[in-house]
Chains A and B, each alone.
Chain A
Amino acid sequence: MLRLERRRQPSNLWRWGAPMAAVVLTMVLGALLFWMIGRDPFLAIKTIFWDPVFGEFAFYYRPELIKKAAPLIMIAIGLSFGFRAGIWNIGAEGQYIIGAICGASVALAFYPMAARWMIFPLMIMAGILGGVVWAMIPALLRVYFKTNEILVSLMLVYVAEVLVKAFAVGLLRNPEGRGFPGSRNLTQYPSAANLELFAGTGIHWGVITAVLSVGLAYVVITRHRFGFDVQLAGQSPRAAAFAGVNTNWLVIGCMGLSGGLSGLAGLFEVAGPSGQILGSFPAFYGFTAIIVAFLGRLHPVGILLAGLLMALTYIGGDAAQSAMNLPSAAIKVFQGMLLFSLLSVDVLTNYRVRFTWAKGD
């Protein structure tokens, strides 16, 4: 008979061992899944996890990998603060979309003026502001009306998706686009483009911001009062109340932070890799970032690694799609399984397994 016994302290070994065990477990389960839909499981795993980084065409895939990882890391860093404190912003996808719309609107308003020193910073501010405003709706409703922020932030994702489709064929449509939906391509507008800073590396402003946000988050969480409050509120809300932590400000702070970072990620995406506002702009990054945040143990360095790994599943998934006709949805299933296995393996962090011969229960 197997029995779980609560550990006095979470196991340090499993705290970091669990994500790795989860990745291995997911690879096994994923191989099984690929085998079931009639693909060579070993080849699939190799195509997804090995080839993009070390294979023949790695010079093409590596920059793509970095570009995909940047928004995931940025959004996940923002989410990690709220998740630590028990504030569940599930609508990062919506904040990401609104950030992109706001940033792109600013750029298009100035088109074709050439003044990058002014336009690009303004776009960044608009992107952050858009994300923050969109995140403030659930935050303020929670503070003033005790409304559940999970549901409100999620509803706003669907609203944002409708908005981006409307803007792509309405207000922001390219007047020279011969009636096709979609805005002007920002990568062809030098004052607004978020291009690679060093050719062939994949490094654009979003990547630099992502790395900076990891460093900043590390400092805030370990050295700043705000990081302490966040951790305290998550571990013991009562103790936090006695310590004088203002929960309302915490909600506003955490939601604002994740909204701002999500909006920023959206802006960098629309001005760079994606290039234009389209109905298909939503990329599911806001949801995948939730997996990244958990996989990285809500820790900045962990999130950096998890973001790279999750980007690898996207890039590798695309490669496997073209090379072995693997359905694109299979990668989504794979990502879902990754979160499932992580949560399952995590039981070992807080509990130890005991074998008993006595009758259970």
Chain B
Amino acid sequence: MDINPVLLLAAVIVASTPILLAAIGELVVERAGVLNLGVEGMMITGAVCGYIAAHETSSATLGFAGAALGGAGVAALFAFLTLVLLTNQVATGLALTLFGLGLAAMVGQGYATTTVVSVPKLPIPGLSDIPGLGRIFFTHDAIVYLSIVLVLAVWGFLRFSRNGLILRAIGENHEAAHALGYHVRRVRFFALLFGGACAGLGGAYISLVRVPQWVDNITSGAGWIALAIVAFASWKPGRLVTGAYLFGGVTALQLNIQATGLAIPVEYLSMSPYIATILVLVLLSGGRAPGSLGKTFHASR
């Protein structure tokens, strides 16, 4: 069996979308100065919520809506702990991941053998007829397009809007932003909700489109890879797309090579996305993190 480059590139996009979605949400969160290490937990919560919602209502749209809600729900928990109870962000993020993994395994228990609702493809009229490129870029489901639109929207929001500027100011120096009268906690709260919803969507994309079935630990580290990509992208939306597609590329390529039955042992192939993440972190990351990233904000008077 040979690898068809057009199908491979289309598969790259499918493999990248969950990571891209989670990463763009986390990018906004980190630009607001909060380090949420619970992306994996929010993703798997989204994955299970999306799966159950889609299964119960037989509607993919409601499934993704449920996933976004579920992700935002656990993100709200994280927000309450870190913003109101002033807990350590690293520890709380880990707690969120452990909690999310357990919660998803518990809630999803009865759904392992069920069949899932199919998510329809939406070829874009005109563009999808371009030979090659049309099949690669314009014959996907709505969520793939949504992920690209979200990246563009976040880029525009951070770069051109007043609220985006406030969000960045809060991320750079929360004391100064507070002194200027901006609502540090309110902005961070909404940033976290957005991040949770995006991670939830990403998780549901794995359970509804990529796999598509309910298995324990279905996200298998995608949330952590998303975190790594945000650091790799130097907190810039443009580079985020490159990063996400690079990892999607490694994942899709190794799956394709496994299918061709080449003489490379399967285990080396399946660890390649993780090794690639480490390599990229070592070789390519740079750039400066937002100044207040990970610090607890307490408005003393």
Residues of A near any B CB (own CB < 8 A): 4-6, 37, 88, 90, 137, 141, 145, 147-148, 150-152, 154-156, 158-159, 162-163, 165-166, 170, 287, 290-291, 294, 327, 329-337, 339-340, 343-344, 346-347, 350-351, 361
B106 contacts A162, C-beta separation under 8 Å:
no
Q: Is B197 among interface residues, defined by CB-CB distance under 8 A? A: no
A-B contact count (CB 8 A): 125
Residues of A within 8 A of B225 (CB): 155
Within 8 A of A (CB), among B230-284: 231, 265, 267, 270-271, 274-275, 277-278, 281-282
- Please provide the 6 A-B residue pairs with the shortest distance between their CB atoms, ordered closest to farther: A332-B102, A336-B99, A329-B105, A329-B106, A166-B267, A333-B102
Q: Is B62 among interface residues, defined by CB-CB distance under 8 A? A: no
- Of B81, B98, B300, most A-chain CB atoms within 10 Å: B98
Among A88, A158, A334, A350, contact of B274 (Cβ-Cβ < 8 Å) = A158
Residues 93-132 of chain B, each 1 if its beta carbon lies under 8 Å from chain A, else 0: 0111011111101100100000000000000000000000
Among B91, B101, B282, contact of A343 (Cβ-Cβ < 8 Å) = B91
Q: A88-B90, A163-B267 are in contact. Are A333 and B106 (CB under 8 A)?
A: yes
A351 contacts B105, C-beta separation under 8 Å:
no
Residues of A within 8 A of B87 (CB): 343-344, 346-347
Q: A329-B105, A333-B106 are in contact. Are A159 and B298 (CB under 8 A)?
A: no
Nearest chain-B residue to A333 (Cβ)? B102
Nearest chain-B residue to A5 (Cβ)? B300
Residues of B within 8 A of A154 (CB): 221, 224
How far is B104's CA from A327's CA once the two chains are assembled, in angstroms?
12
In the assembled complex, 23 residue pairs joining A and B whose CB atoms fall closer than 8 Å, in A order, are: A4-B86, A5-B300, A6-B300, A37-B106, A137-B278, A141-B282, A151-B224, A151-B281, A152-B278, A155-B225, A155-B278, A158-B274, A159-B271, A162-B267, A162-B271, A330-B106, A331-B102, A333-B103, A334-B102, A335-B98, A336-B96, A340-B92, A343-B87
Among B94, B106, B220, B274, contact of A90 (Cβ-Cβ < 8 Å) = B94
Residues of A within 8 A of B106 (CB): 37, 327, 329-330, 332-333
Residues of B within 8 A of A336 (CB): 95-96, 98-103
CB distance from A238 to the nearest CB of B (A): 15
Q: Is B37 among interface residues, defined by CB-CB distance under 8 A? A: yes
A158 contacts B220, C-beta separation under 8 Å:
yes
Q: A290-B94, A351-B86 are in contact. Are A333 and B227 (CB under 8 A)?
A: no
Q: Is B88 among interface residues, defined by CB-CB distance under 8 A? A: yes
B102 contacts A339, C-beta separation under 8 Å:
no
How far is B101's CA from A161's CA once the two chains are assembled, in angstroms?
17
CB distance from B20 to the nearest CB of A (A): 17
CB distance from A304 to the nearest CB of B (A): 20
Residues of B near any A CB (own CB < 8 A): 37, 77, 81, 85-88, 90-92, 94-96, 98-103, 105-106, 109, 220-221, 224-225, 227-228, 231, 265, 267, 270-271, 274-275, 277-278, 281-282, 285, 298-300
Q: A155-B274, A158-B274 are in contact. Are A332 and B105 (CB under 8 A)?
A: yes
Among A4, A165, A330, A343, contact of B267 (Cβ-Cβ < 8 Å) = A165
How far is B90's CA from A350's CA once the two chains are assembled, in angstroms?
17
Q: A294-B91, A332-B102, A347-B87 are in contact. Are A166 and B281 (CB under 8 A)?
A: no
| Main SS class of interface, A | helix
Q: A152-B278, A166-B265 are in contact. Are A327 and B109 (CB under 8 A)?
A: yes
Residues of B within 8 A of A137 (CB): 278
Residues of A within 8 A of B228 (CB): 148, 151, 155
Q: A145-B282, A165-B267, A332-B105 are in contact. Are A344 and B224 (CB under 8 A)?
A: no
How far is B103's CA from A336's CA once the two chains are assembled, in angstroms?
9
Residues of A within 8 A of B267 (CB): 162-163, 165-166, 170
Residues of B within 8 A of A334 (CB): 102
B85 contacts A344, C-beta separation under 8 Å:
yes
CB distance from B83 to the nearest CB of A (A): 11
How far is B193's CA from A228's CA once the two chains are assembled, in angstroms?
40
How far is B271's CA from A166's CA once the two chains are assembled, in angstroms?
11
A150 contacts B88, C-beta separation under 8 Å:
no
CB distance from A325 to the nearest CB of B (A): 11
CB distance from B261 to the nearest CB of A (A): 17
How far is B103's CA from A334's CA once the two chains are assembled, in angstroms?
9
Given A88-B90, A155-B275, A290-B98, output 17 extra A-B contacts at Cβ < 8 Å: A4-B298, A141-B282, A147-B282, A150-B90, A151-B228, A151-B278, A152-B281, A154-B224, A155-B278, A294-B91, A329-B109, A336-B102, A339-B91, A343-B87, A344-B87, A346-B87, A351-B298
Nearest chain-A residue to B41 (Cβ)? A336
Among A158, A343, A347, contact of B95 (Cβ-Cβ < 8 Å) = A343
Nearest chain-B residue to A361 (Cβ)? B299
Residues of A within 8 A of B109 (CB): 327, 329
Residues of B within 8 A of A37 (CB): 106
CB distance from A41 to the nearest CB of B (A): 16
How far is B299's CA from A5's CA once the two chains are assembled, in angstroms?
9
Residues of B within 8 A of A158 (CB): 220-221, 271, 274
Residues of A within 8 A of B101 (CB): 332, 336
B98 contacts A147, C-beta separation under 8 Å:
no
Nearest chain-B residue to A331 (Cβ)? B102
How far is B265's CA from A195's CA once the two chains are assembled, in angstroms?
35
CB distance from A80 to the nearest CB of B (A): 13
How far is B86's CA from A162's CA once the two chains are assembled, in angstroms?
37
Q: A155-B224, A333-B103, A343-B92 are in contact. Are A162 and B270 (CB under 8 A)?
A: yes
- Of B106, B227, B281, most A-chain CB atoms within 10 Å: B106
